[in-house]
Amino acid sequence: MQHAVGAPLPPPHQPGHAATGWTNQAAAHHPGPPPPQGPPPAAPPAPGWVPPETTGHIHLPPGAPVAAPAPAPAPAPHTAPGSGSGTGTATLAVLLIGPAGAGKTTVARYWASNRRVPTAHISLDDVREWVCAGFADPQSGWNDQSEAQYRLARRTCGFAARNFLANGISCILDDAVFPDRPVVGLGGWKRHVGPGLLPVVLLPGLEIVLERNAERTGNRRLSDEEVAGIHGRMAGWYGSGLPIIDNSKYDVETTARVLDDVLARAIASPPVY
Digit-coded pLDDT (tens) for 196-215: 899 999 999 999 988 888 87
74: CB partners within 8 A, 6+ apart: 264, 265, 268, 269
| pTM exceeds cut of 0.75 | no
**pLDDT for residue 60:** 65
The whole-number average pLDDT for the span 35-44 is: 59
The whole-number average pLDDT for the span 129-147 is: 84
Q: Name the pLDDT band for 269 (thresholds 50, 70, 90).
A: confident
- Give me the numbers of helices (H) and strands (E) for the chain, helices first please: 8, 5
Contact 67, 165 (CB under 8 A): no
- φ, ψ of residue 96 in degrees (nearest 5): -100, 115
pLDDT over 80 at 220, yes or no:
no
pLDDT over 80 at 27, yes or no:
no
**pLDDT for residue 37:** 61
Lowest mean pLDDT among 107-111, 117-121, 234-238, 248-252: 234-238
187 half-sphere exposure, CB direction, 13 A CA radius = 5
pLDDT over 60 at 216, yes or no:
yes
The whole-number average pLDDT for the span 172-186 is: 84
| Nearest of 156, 150, 119 to residue 135 by alpha carbon | 150
pLDDT over 50 at 59, yes or no:
yes
Kindly state the helix (H) or strand (E) to which residue 198 belongs, with its residue range.
strand 198-202
The whole-number average pLDDT for the span 132-159 is: 86
